[in-house]
Amino acid sequence: MSDSTPSGASFLWDSAAAPSRPIMTPELFSEEQREIARQARRFSDDEIVPRIAQIESKKSGLVPELLRKAGEIGLLMVDIPAEYGGLGLDKTTSMLIAEQFSVVGSFAVSLGAHTGIGTMPILYFGTPAQKANYLPDLATGKRLAAYALTESSSGSDALAAKTRADRSSDGSHYVLNGTKQFITNAGFADVFTVFAQVGGDKFSAFVVERTSPGLTVGAEEHKLGIRGSSTCPLSFEDVKVPSANLLGEIGKGHRIAFNILNVGRIKLGLGTIGAAKCALEVAARYAKERQQFHKPIGAFGLVAAKLAEMAIGIFVGESMGYRTTGLIDARFAASADEGAHVDAIEEFAVEASIIKVFGSEVLDRCADECVQIHGGYGFIEEYQPERMFRDSRINRIFEGTNEINRLIVPATILKRAMKGQVPLIAHAAVIRDKLAKGQAPPPGEGELGTATQVVDFCKWIATYVLAVAAETYHVNIADEQEILGELSDIISQVYALDTAVARLRQILDGNDEANKAIARDLFAAFAPPAYSFCVHTARHILMDVCDPASLPGHLEAIGKLRIDWPSKVIAAKRRIARAVLEADGYPIRRGW
């Protein structure tokens, strides 16, 4: 199975015209996945939503109590293997659950921190004894987990952590000293994954129990959003941690920290898409109800366009998110070995960063437009958009800021290319040659022929400018962050376009006529602006990167292809907005 699984970032060079295998999309969810999603949604609707006010006011003990209740019905154990008391299900199911809880950001973050960054370090890097000790309780919620990486002087620069761990002379334990900052679930977590420098310079991870003498949990932070979630500092004063609680190897803590964040990024990406769906529902209902100038405001073009934009972002983000979980699941299915699972997660690090940035920015736009559609009422605390707007903001900051994640995308591809792990350099040479000869990617077949040609052309452009920038700056490209940021945005649009056309093709091959019509419109409204964005951004990159002598040749190369793509974006958006209003929200039928 893994042999035929596409490799990470291969969307950049594999043609959109000939997918070797279907991509995972919500249309392909199994009945088991749908049933678990329904169960999670019911729990959210019955147990969480009615308690929003109490959660937001930090009613003592409520969030851990609700987490334990979620644990009792199996919602915390999806990723944990059966031998440790879990269900051992796939990543797609795990992400689907995360999406269902996103209506209440505070609870979603608490649950995601427990099942994701809290539990995953032990699941993927724990010894059999550590797993046997902790996972069964984490699976049921009997014990709750947190992840302590950030410190006051090291956030994005996480490996510069100062917390240190010194081995006792008899080797029986480590002594931890230092502080951690902004730790989600710290107010009630029983188990912490704590990163510390062994001997002052070997970045490593430990499982630390709350009851450890010398561990103090500081006061709750007062936050802009997700106010019902717990965020506290931790301090360690001569905390003795048994040597058996070292997680992974000494000096290899970065593998744990970064791979766990990769899973967290996908979860955050799909969680934010779930929250964006909620914002669209709230906005759609209000746009139908609210009358101005004797009409529902949803009938006005500028309001309708906002609803359509929200649905488009959700469609594309959801498609990229589940495509990626499907890729990871295919690799997981090929091997039960946890080492192979970590490799699979690492393989799709580029996609994880793209989804994190894309989802969090879609949500920010949706939350913002939800406020705007509510006019003055959107600004008032008793209306839902006000909380949604505040809650959305954190997602661009944690799990790696969007700046850091933007840098990861091109930097990872270039690093793999330099090591010969991906065929970027050979591929770029072929594309250059073809563009120099005035050749274009061939059109695909059938209804999506032009669309696939456009998507392939965007891939050519992305590869072309990536190669030109790499040749120009060599190892110093890390200092050209503005260029890396723009490259990242083009690569992200390429993944979005490639995924959207693949999903549309699968929907058109299916039997759901209603979904066919709306998916056609979502793609028709998304793809032309995305194509223009790729072309314009590539031109700007070349203008900044190239010297005056070579610039005209480069601009001519990427400007040779003029694809005649008749598109009626406004008409498509109007139909999308009508579908949103009819559906009271996201108009793709999901079947649960």
Ligand X SMILES: Cc1cc2nc3c(=O)[nH]c(=O)nc-3n(C[C@H](O)[C@H](O)[C@H](O)COP(=O)(O)OP(=O)(O)OC[C@H]3O[C@@H](n4cnc5c(N)ncnc54)[C@H](O)[C@@H]3O)c2cc1C
Site membership for ligand X, residue 203 (CB under 6 A): no
Q: Which of residues 192 and 322 has its CB atom nearest to ligand X in the complex?
A: 192
- Smallest distance, Å, CB 282 to ligand X? 23
- Smallest distance, Å, CB 356 to ligand X? 12
Tokens of 198: 């062994």
Site membership for ligand X, residue 174 (CB under 6 A): no
Tell me the window of 165-173, 182-190, 312-320, 551-559 that interacts with ligand X (CB under 6 A): 182-190
Among all residues, whose Cβ is closest to ligand X?
155
Site membership for ligand X, residue 63 (CB under 6 A): no
Site membership for ligand X, residue 60 (CB under 6 A): no
- Smallest distance, Å, CB 152 to ligand X? 8
Q: What is the DSSP string of 495-532?
A: HHHHHHHHHHHHHHHSS-HHHHHHHHHHHHHHHHHHHH
| Chain centre distance of CA 556 | 36
Within 401-420, which residues bind ligand X (CB under 6 A)? Answer: 401, 403-404
Q: Which of residues 113 and 282 has its CB atom nearest to ligand X in the complex?
A: 113
Other Cβ atoms within 10 Å of 123 Cβ, number = 23
Number of residues that bind ligand X (CB under 6 A): 20
**Kind plus residue range of the DSSP H or E element containing 206:** strand 202-209
- Smallest distance, Å, CB 160 to ligand X? 10
93 vs 79: CA distance, rounded Å: 9
**Residue labelled with tokens 């505070």:** 106
Q: Which of residues 410 and 587 has its CB atom nearest to ligand X in the complex?
A: 410
- Smallest distance, Å, CB 391 to ligand X? 10
**Which of 85, 155, 242, 423 is close enough to bind ligand X by CB under 6 A?**
155
Tell me the window of 8-16, 147-155, 233-241, 433-441 that interacts with ligand X (CB under 6 A): 147-155
- Smallest distance, Å, CB 93 to ligand X? 23
Q: SS3 for 174? A: strand
Cβ(108)–Cβ(399) below 8 Å? no
Site string for ligand X, 208-237 (x = CB under 6 A): ---------------x-------x------
**Which of 156, 243, 439, 550 is close enough to bind ligand X by CB under 6 A?**
156
Site membership for ligand X, residue 183 (CB under 6 A): yes
369 vs 392: CA distance, rounded Å: 12
Tell me the window of 391-399, 504-512, 537-545, 584-592 that interacts with ligand X (CB under 6 A): 391-399
Site membership for ligand X, residue 397 (CB under 6 A): yes
**Which of 63, 80, 111, 149 is close enough to bind ligand X by CB under 6 A?**
149
Site membership for ligand X, residue 182 (CB under 6 A): yes
Strands 231-242 and 215-217 come out as: antiparallel
Site membership for ligand X, residue 480 (CB under 6 A): no
The CA–CA distances, whole Å, from 393 to 224, 232, 250, 361, 402 equal 8, 18, 35, 9, 11
Cβ(309)–Cβ(280) below 8 Å? no
Site membership for ligand X, residue 394 (CB under 6 A): yes
Catalytic residue list: 399
- Smallest distance, Å, CB 186 to ligand X? 8
Count the residues in the chain: 592
490 vs 463: CA distance, rounded Å: 10
**Which of 113, 196, 198, 371 is close enough to bind ligand X by CB under 6 A?**
113
Q: What is the DSSP string of 317-379?
A: HHHHHHHHHHHHHHHHHH---HHHHHHHHHHTHHHHHHHHHHHHHHHHHHHHHHHHHTGGGGG
Ramachandran bin of 141, using left for φ above 0, alpha for ψ from -120 to 50, beta for the remaining angles: left
Of 186, 184, 206, 209, nearest to 196 by C-alpha is 206
Site membership for ligand X, residue 147 (CB under 6 A): yes
Tokens of 77: 């154990």
Q: Which of residues 401 and 567 has its CB atom nearest to ligand X in the complex?
A: 401
Q: Which of residues 348 and 398 has its CB atom nearest to ligand X in the complex?
A: 398
- Smallest distance, Å, CB 224 to ligand X? 9
Cβ(115)–Cβ(122) below 8 Å? no
Site membership for ligand X, residue 150 (CB under 6 A): yes
Q: Can you list the alpha helix ranges (DSSP code H) found in 141-178?
A: none
Cβ(253)–Cβ(343) below 8 Å? no
Cβ(505)–Cβ(448) below 8 Å? yes
Strands 215-217 and 164-167 come out as: unpaired
- Smallest distance, Å, CB 399 to ligand X? 7
Site membership for ligand X, residue 512 (CB under 6 A): no
Q: Which of residues 145 and 572 has its CB atom nearest to ligand X in the complex?
A: 145
- Smallest distance, Å, CB 18 to ligand X? 38
Site membership for ligand X, residue 398 (CB under 6 A): yes
**Which of 148, 461, 530, 545 is close enough to bind ligand X by CB under 6 A?**
148
Site membership for ligand X, residue 583 (CB under 6 A): no
Other Cβ atoms within 10 Å of 73 Cβ, number = 14
Q: Which of residues 62 and 411 has its CB atom nearest to ligand X in the complex?
A: 411
Residues at the interface with ligand X (CB under 6 A): 113, 146-150, 155-156, 182-184, 223, 231, 394, 397-398, 401, 403-404, 481
